[in-house]
Structure formats: C-alpha cells, structure tokens
Amino acid sequence: GQQVMQIPQYQHVQEGEDFTTYCNSSTTLSNIQWYKQRPGGHPVFLIQLVKSGEVKKQKRLTFQFGEAKKNSSLHITATQTTDVGTYFCGGGTSYGKLTFGQGTILTVHP
C-alpha cells in the first residue's frame, strides 16, 4: 500500500532559525496537504498543493510540491515560539482520503 515518509521526526531550533520538514511518498500523489497540530490539540489544515512543481507561500511558510508529485516540503523562515507543534503531511491519491506521514515535532527555544 501507499506509504508516506516524513523527516525529520524531531527538530529543535532557536527562535529566528529556519526549519524544514520533508515528505516522500512511495506512489504518485494527486495532491498533498499539510496540517499543524499544536500540543494537546487537533490537526488544523494549512494548505493543499495539487500541481507538479507548485510552490505556495503563507507569510513565513513556504510549501513545495515536487515535479514528480511524490515529494513535498514545508519551510518556515525565522521561526517563532508560536510555530511550535507537529507538522503532518498528508498524501492524497483518491478523492478525500489521505495517508499521513509520521509528522515532525518542532520545538522552538526562545
């Protein structure tokens, strides 16, 4: 079955440093979605990428979808303490259903 791998599992940064998490799928995806889960909370949708090579930005967050539609990345510039949480990628191959990566737990030291 489809597998979605996400690295790194943990990332500790100083406030102001950049952060990147990577997602790789064993199969070609129709779309990829990114979610953020704060400690004790539930996942919250950040963005969806659909097109090959697509790049989207949300303030300090940059999302990329690979040309082969099998990998993706989320980059945060100049992290803040409010960025703390677990970031999940979800690979979509059929309408609505997602296979989630393991998540990257981000901690930001002030």
Q: How far is the CB of 2 from other proteins (least distance, A)?
A: 11
Six-digit token pair at 73?
Answer: 């990345």
SS3 per-residue string spanning 4-55: EEEECCEEEEECCCCEEEEEEECCCCCEEEEEEECCCCCCEEEEEECCCCCE
Q: Which of 20, 62, 77, 102 binds other proteins (CB under 8 A)?
A: 102
Q: Show the site string, 18-57: x = touches other proteins by CB under 8 A, - = not.
A: -------------x-x-x-----xxxxx--x---------
Q: Does 63 bind other proteins (CB under 8 A)?
A: no
Which is nearer to other proteins, 5 or 16 (by Cβ)? 5
**Pick from 100, 78, 97: nearest CA to 18:** 78
Question: Helix (H, G, I), strand (E, B), or coil: what is residue 89?
Answer: strand
Kindly list the residues in this chain that would bind other proteins in the complex (CB under 8 A): 1, 6, 31, 33, 35, 41-45, 48, 86, 88, 90, 92, 95-103, 105
